[in-house]
Amino acid sequence: MRQLARTRGHGRAFTSNTRWCDYECYYRCDMKRRPTTTTLRRSVALPSALIGELNSVAPPELRTNLNRLVIVSLQEYVSRRRREEFDRAIAAMAGDPQVRAECAAIAKDFAVTEADGLRND
């Protein structure tokens, strides 16, 4: 039996043994498509001693979910690195004579507000 390639206004060919609804479902149904994800999947090799040590200090709710434990650990690492970077930038500004002079000028301009009776907290 000869198979005929036809199009139904979509420019895509389908054969006579393919049902039209199968074609429509495949190209128009959202369930067939993979959802876009923002998760990056990687495989890593972790020493078992490190996992044991990590489990010993991890909160109980994270001990049974290694994926969540790694995510939380990486988030804490990123946060700590950003905080360290900020602290280094502040320390560099504290040593800069121009910044110190500007801070002294600002403090002098607002010195009159010190007599407002409020405590310096």
> Given this model, what pLDDT does residue 1 score?
42
Residue 64 lies in a domain: no
Q: In which domain, by residue range, is 92 found?
A: 77-112
32-36, 38-42, 107-111: segment of lowest average pLDDT = 32-36
Domain membership of residue 86 (yes or no) is: yes
Could you write out the DSSP letters of every residue in 53-96?
HHHHHS-GGGTT-HHHHHHHHHHHHHHHHHHHHHHHHHHHHHH-
Domain-embedded: residue 103: yes
How many structural domains is the chain composed of?
A: 1
Q: Per-residue confidence at 2, pLDDT binned at 50, 70, 90?
A: very low
> Is 34 part of a structural domain of the chain?
no
Residue 94 lies in a domain: yes
Q: Does residue 58 lie in a domain region?
A: no
Predicted confidence at residue 29, as pLDDT, reads 63
Q: What's the pLDDT tens digit per position in 49-103?
A: 998 998 899 999 988 899 999 999 999 999 999 999 999 999 999 999 999 999 9
Name the amino acid, one letter, at 58: A
